[in-house]
Structure 1
Amino acid sequence: MTTPASDKIATFITSFKSANVTSDQYHVAARALFDTVVCALAGAREPASRLVVEYARGQGPSGGARVWTTGEQLPIELAALVNGTMGHALDYDDVSSPLRGHPSVAMFPALLALGETINAEGKEVLDAYVVGFEVCLRLARAMVDDHYAKGWHSTSSIASLGAVAACARLLHLPHGQCVNALGIAVAQIAGSRQNFGTMSKPFQAGQANALALRSIGLARLGFDSSPHALDGDQGYSALYADGADLCAQMDQLGSLPFEIETGGIEIKKYPLCYATHRTLDGLMDLLAEYPGLSLSEVDRVEVLTNFRATVPLIYDCPQTGLEGKFSMQYAVTAALLDKKVGLSSFDDQAVLRPEVQAFLSRVSVREAEPPMFPRWAQLRITLRDGKVLVKRIDQLRGSKELPLSDEELVAKGVDCCAYGQPAVDAAALARACFSLPTQKLSSVFAALTPKP
């Protein structure tokens, strides 16, 4: 009889050896933590963030784990929900292409909330993240392409299971409790791309963390679930992935090098959906080549991409800043008009500018036939005088192939803090995160506490 997928994941969690994690891999994980936290700091003032904090405060006694932006204490599930929602509110947090989603914001809020309650060593938290990331990407490789195309939001519908695995590792749960926690998570998993462009998209990221902690907490008390919850006839794969075979990928769990190196983490340069970023890289290159180019000179823009590259871009004519984050038309128009795409690009007023709305229909987007990989984008700008500018982009800046330097990442953090939490010293926070393999997790919280 085939060993159930949950059993294989539990075996990986309980047999994981931190000695197999390289110093470079720890640094990648620490960078991901820094990026997640600064994106939450930048997102603190967003309506979704304010409302989820208001909700959490109304749920009962405080205590447990801190809200990164305010320092107040909430029960750990609520703290993770709040921090995860804030971390994804601007859609500026890191990405994994094999996941087609955002792994770090689905795991670190839960890990930090849990780690705070046990006064965890920083290295233990990063080990747990590596475990969760491995589970995320192995599941994604087995099922994500059709799963995502059908409308599931893989940041919550897949990465939730990675969050469970990460938290189970941090607590060193026994095998049976790991299996039960995964099944309890299946009882809660959801997340729809229909919610993109609304407050519920970042909520889905926050919920991935909260449900992971709930699953772990119940499993520790003896709450059970089906050992076949992932791959049984009526289990997760059957319902969420048309019965995709999980076994081959689950058998690869823990193969060296780990997925944190092979799958990689991609740091966003622009605060909107990653599906726009290749096109924006090309457009920024063209603006550098033609510094006098203005929106008024452009007749039309044609974007051609690889198959399924634009699936998350569901708004052709956005009317709000959140909708603009999922619109190629707006990304291109804003870049041409403003010569940049930054945090302020996604105010509602910026999207509703008359010159923006008038130009949106002049941007066309088309996907090529399969295959889906390798990924690429081609930009064709036709000027009113008939001149045509063309740029093709294969390698994406910020990807694992062309990663941002530590200095560039810290600069992003400085910008995020200035936007949302100016009292936090981003450089000091980066030092705390980057030194985490040799420090207590509490060093990160100390760096988040503004100096008097």
Structure 2
Amino acid sequence: MAETSSRRASSSVRRRAAHRARSEDHIMQLDRKEFLQALGAGTVGAAAGRHLGAAAPDVKPKKLERDAIKGATDAVARFVTRTTLADLPADVVQQGKRCLIDGFGVILAGSTSDGSRIVREHVREVGGKSEASIIGTRLRVPAGKAALANGASGHAMDYDDTQLSTTPDRTFGLLTHPTIPALSTSLAVAERVGASGAGFLEAFLVGFEVECKIAEAIDPDHYTRGFHSSGTIGAFGAATAAAKLMKLDAAVVKHLLAITASLSSGIRVNFGSMTKPLHVGRAAESGVFAADLAAHGFTGGDDGLDGAWGFFQVLGGGADLDRLIPALGKPYAIVNPGVSVKPYPCGSLSHPSMDAMLKVVVDHDLKPEQIKAVRVRAGSNVLNPLRYKTAKTELEAKFCLPFLMASLIVRRKAGMAEFTDAFVASEAVQRMMELVTGVFDREIEAQGFDKIRSVIEVDLVDGRRLVQSADQRYRGGPDKPFTRAELRAKFADCAQLVLRPDRIEPAIAAIESIDRLSSVRELVSRLVA
């Protein structure tokens, strides 16, 4: 519930906080000395992904390191080769179709971005066999290149779904963007081998599960070091999806996993640039590449995930294998804990704050000229990734807290129409961004990083202050999932950028009946311009 008050900040603490909030740096951080003092006192976590504070549940991951990490490679290989669509519960299949609707929608939308256009131009210049389709176009290219282009498009808008974590030791309670790597590779390989819709769906769901359980198992340090897990771990989802369609046996899948571990890449310094979605495209392409090599007898180490030199130790510093070996398919991550479908084309960590800002604007019918200042109080897990103090491009805008608030104030929306270079550069938005500040809040920081917490404070020119706490039950999340109508509407909004209006409903119908299609090419034919 919103709390409205006309009182001015009278205490000295409030005055000092307001003064600091207006500092020229905009994003308020602890200075190094303060941070180290707080760290020593136990009020700030050693890593951004760790759960903090006295209220934190007593969750202690069973972290294994170096040679103690064993059995993961074998477990994944067995799961991939033994699992069939017939084994999957009905709710897993149904949720898989929902993820495909969302995934194909954001691929279509993302295909219109400049970065996706550049990737397609590269793919066209390289040339090669006509094996698989680039969604939204009539271009057919080698399967690996189709996976690259579709994967990059799927993450280009930062509009694809997010994996939820089962435990509170992960930043925001979120992990990877699981759908696009597995989808892009499954589609490309399914087209190449002439698979049925059921075969495509089976491969997608197997790859999805492998990706999610590897993400759960690896130590949170993987992400906090700066690795982009959707790229690094997404490659395993892509590769195992390809393995399923290519009917690789367990021994070959073990080589595949080791090859994939060496191809895994993506670092967070590239957030806010065209390279962030490229991480996902490369993950999808690497999945095809690794599977093709393994299928032809190319070898990797026996334990690509395990041991002192395996993926978990080298890129993550350890793993909790209880979250992987006995957990594959028990339950399936796609339904428990599930995924978060995005209502805005930007990072999930900003969505609760955006919902809170929109609520204040709508409830009080605010106009831009009424705003004197906006402060978003949050912990470092929210403020640090939103790295841009002001945005000049739509890519920067996705990681710019002042823009996200400004868009909702100026237009009461933050959709694809708002994430354009022209709107970001508009005078109204640039002026409003100057009034928005991110403020480091120690109390919120101390509550931990498992949820996306923030408080919005809006000062009006008439002297009132409006306060709204962000609702952790954000739209699209597990507590407020999209309805079928909302999901179909999101697909339509994305697809209309590429498809004719009369092609949108048949495309949705084909996805919803994917397991009954004799060929995946029937679906692809409905997703080209």
Alignment partner of 1:357 out of 430, 434, 437? 430
Q: 1:246 to 1:144 in 2, by over 3 A?
A: closer
SS of the residue 1:390 aligns to: strand
- When normalised by structure 1's length, the TM-score is 0.94
Post-superposition offset of 1:74: 0.1
Alignment partner of 2:525 out of 426, 435, 446? 446
Alignment-derived partner of residue 18 in structure 1: 85
SS of the residue 1:402 aligns to: coil
- When normalised by structure 2's length, the TM-score is 0.80
Post-superposition offset of 1:449: 4.2
Post-superposition offset of 1:246: 4.3
Structure 1 residue ranges without an equivalent (≥5): none
Post-superposition offset of 1:209: 0.4
Alignment partner of 2:451 out of 366, 374, 379? 374
Q: Which amino acid aligns with 1:445?
A: V
Q: Which amino acid aligns with 2:337?
A: G
Q: Which amino acid aligns with 2:99?
A: A
Alignment-derived partner of residue 234 in structure 1: 309
Alignment-derived partner of residue 132 in structure 1: 207
Tell me how many residue pairs correspond in the alignment.
448
Q: Which amino acid aligns with 2:411?
A: D
Alignment-derived partner of residue 245 in structure 2: 170
- Is residue 198 of structure 2 the alignment partner of residue 112 of structure 1? no
Which residues in structure 2 correspond to 1:328-367 (within 5 Å)? 328-365=401-438, 366=440
Tell whether the 8 Å contact from 2:238 to 2:283 is kept in structure 1 after alignment.
yes
SS of the residue 1:397 aligns to: coil
Alignment-derived partner of residue 229 in structure 2: 154
Alignment partner of 2:133 out of 66, 82, 99? 66
Post-superposition offset of 1:316: 1.5
Question: Aligned partners of 2:528 and 2:114: how far apart in 1?
Answer: 23
Deviations 1:305-354 (A, max 9, x none): 45624443221211111100111111001110111111121211211223
Structure 2 residue ranges without an equivalent (≥5): 1-67, 166-173
Alignment-derived partner of residue 461 in structure 2: 384
- Is residue 352 of structure 2 the alignment partner of residue 275 of structure 1? no
Alignment-derived partner of residue 404 in structure 1: 482
Question: Aligned partners of 1:378 and 1:145: how far apart in 2?
Answer: 26
Post-superposition offset of 1:265: 1.8
Q: Which has the higher contact order (CA 8 A, sep 6+)?
A: 2
Question: Aligned partners of 2:301 and 2:384: how far apart in 1?
Answer: 33
Tell whether the 8 Å contact from 2:76 to 2:210 is kept in structure 1 after alignment.
yes
Q: Which amino acid aligns with 1:29?
A: G
Question: Aligned partners of 1:358 and 1:375: how far apart in 2?
Answer: 27
Q: Which amino acid aligns with 2:98?
A: R
Tell whether the 8 Å contact from 1:417 to 1:424 is kept in structure 2 after alignment.
no
Alignment-derived partner of residue 78 in structure 1: 145
Post-superposition offset of 1:386: 2.2
Post-superposition offset of 1:120: 1.6
Q: 1:51 to 1:255 in 2, by over 3 A?
A: closer
Percent identity between matched residues is: 29
Alignment partner of 2:319 out of 231, 245, 250? 245
Alignment-derived partner of residue 159 in structure 2: 92
Question: Aligned partners of 2:406 and 2:73: how far apart in 1?
Answer: 46
Tell whether the 8 Å contact from 1:42 to 1:421 is kept in structure 2 after alignment.
no
Task: Say which is worse superposed, 312-321 or 423-432, in terms of deviation.
Answer: 423-432
Deviations 1:218-250 (A, max 9, x none): 0011111112222221222222112x1242222
Tell whether the 8 Å contact from 1:424 to 1:447 is kept in structure 2 after alignment.
no
